């Protein structure tokens, strides 16, 4: 594990890929609707920042867009390109870059997308300015970022509550705000955009494999806290047992983070 560019902790393991796959399963339906609403069309020059394994870029390419996925994780970019090549998609390409220094030609893009990227950054407005520079006048930025403070269970689980608090505090220590994304429209305005659309959604689960998504994610983050010395291994395992009890209880609902969606336009 290493930290590059900003505050994002890179993972290259199998479980990191599994998590990206689950994110795609949970969110791709909403993402596609949002991109259609934003006017994504064949022939568009489309860039997905923080593309991970490139699920959204491949779909945009299948629609006929000229799609580029950009991510600072070399390994993920390599896998994303292989997945595109194997699925026969020819108009999706992937490359390694940091959103702050993407090297894209100024005013060259019709549309950009990022999902679960800006939430990891300590300078989200600066990242949006970097997107702004690459968009044509009238070009559209689409963002989908999560507010982790909205995760809860009903009946309430103290383990979930404590783990959410620990995660938000760990974010603060690293200069990132996992609860800030209700302000996405304000940050986009600060970066110079006109706001076209805002919405939010929040999946809720009573059963099924996605019910344990945050347990898995927060335990992985918790292992980082154990390594930093901000959480004991014993406490982490107690919290994991508490969250698993809520996940396995057929009468307990677990709410995913609330996803904030934004469509914003660079003024003509």
- The yes or no reply on residue 142 touching ligand SAM (CB under 6 A) is no
- The yes or no reply on residue 44 touching ligand SAM (CB under 6 A) is no
- The yes or no reply on residue 84 touching ligand SAM (CB under 6 A) is no
Shortest distance in whole angstroms from residue 221 CB to ligand SAM = 12
- The yes or no reply on residue 211 touching ligand SAM (CB under 6 A) is no
- The yes or no reply on residue 71 touching ligand SAM (CB under 6 A) is yes
Shortest distance in whole angstroms from residue 114 CB to ligand SAM = 6
Closest CA to 191 of 121, 131, 120: 131
* Full 3-state SS string of the chain: CCECCCCCECCCCHHHHHHHHHHHHHHHHHHHHHHHHCCCCCCCEEEEECCCCCHHHHHHHHCCCEEEEEECCHHHHHHHHHHHHHCCCCCEEEEECECCECCCCCCCEEEEEEECCHHHCCCHHHHHHHHHHHEEEEEEEEEEEEEHHHCEEECCCHHHHHHHHHHHHHHHHCCCCCCCHHHHHHHHHHCCCEEEEEEEECCEECCCHHHHHHHHHHHHHHHHHHHHCCCCHHHHHHHHHHHHHHHHCCCCEEECCEEEEEEEECCC
74 vs 190 by CB, closer to ligand SAM: 74
10 vs 63 by CB, closer to ligand SAM: 10
Whether the CB-CB separation of 204 and 254 falls below 8 Å is answered with: yes
- The yes or no reply on residue 5 touching ligand SAM (CB under 6 A) is yes
Q: Out of 57, 68, 73, 215, name the contact with ligand SAM by CB under 6 A.
A: 73
Shortest distance in whole angstroms from residue 232 CB to ligand SAM = 26
Part in contact with ligand SAM (CB under 6 A); list of ranges 110-118, 168-176, 197-205, 226-234: 110-118
Shortest distance in whole angstroms from residue 253 CB to ligand SAM = 24
Q: Out of 32, 64, 116, 129, name the contact with ligand SAM by CB under 6 A.
A: 116
Q: Out of 47, 79, 99, 225, name the contact with ligand SAM by CB under 6 A.
A: 99
- The yes or no reply on residue 8 touching ligand SAM (CB under 6 A) is yes
Classify residue 136 by burial, with Cβ atoms within 10 Å: 0-12, 13-18, 19+.
Answer: middle
Size of the site for ligand SAM (CB under 6 A): 22
34 vs 72 by CB, closer to ligand SAM: 72
The binding site for ligand SAM (CB under 6 A) comprises 5-6, 8, 10, 20, 23-24, 49-52, 55, 71-73, 76, 98-99, 115-117, 120
């Amino acid at each position: 594990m290493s930290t590059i560019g900003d505050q994002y902790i890179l993972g290259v393991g199998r479980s990191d890929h599994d998590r990206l796959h689950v994110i795609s399963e949970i969110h791709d339906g909403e993402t596609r609707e949002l991109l259609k609403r934003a006017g994504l069309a064949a022939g568009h020059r489309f860039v997905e920042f923080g593309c991970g394994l490139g699920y959204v870029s491949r779909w945009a390419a299948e629609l006929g867009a000229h799609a580029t996925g950009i991510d600072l994780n070399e390994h993920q970019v390599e896998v994303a390109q292989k997945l595109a090549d194997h699925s026969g998609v020819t108009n999706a390409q992937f490359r390694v870059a940091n959103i702050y220094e993407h090297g894209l030609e100024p005013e060259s893009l019709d549309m950009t997308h990022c999902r679960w990227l800006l939430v990891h950054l300590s300078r989200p407005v600066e990242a949006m300015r970097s997107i702004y520079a690459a968009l044509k006048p009238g070009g559209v930025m689409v963002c989908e970022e999560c507010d982790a403070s909205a995760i809860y269970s009903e009946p309430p689980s103290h383990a979930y509550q404590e783990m959410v608090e620990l995660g938000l505090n760990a974010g603060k220590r690293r200069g990132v705000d996992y609860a800030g994304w209700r302000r996405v429209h304000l940050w986009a305005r600060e970066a110079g955009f006109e706001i076209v659309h805002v919405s939010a959604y929040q999946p809720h689960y009573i059963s099924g494999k996605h019910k344990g998504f945050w347990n898995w994610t927060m335990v992985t983050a918790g292992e980082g806290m154990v390594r930093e010395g901000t959480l004991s291994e014993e406490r982490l395992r107690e919290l994991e047992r508490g969250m698993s009890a809520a996940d396995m209880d057929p009468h307990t609902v677990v709410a995913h983070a609330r996803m904030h969606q934004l469509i914003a336009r660079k003024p003509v």
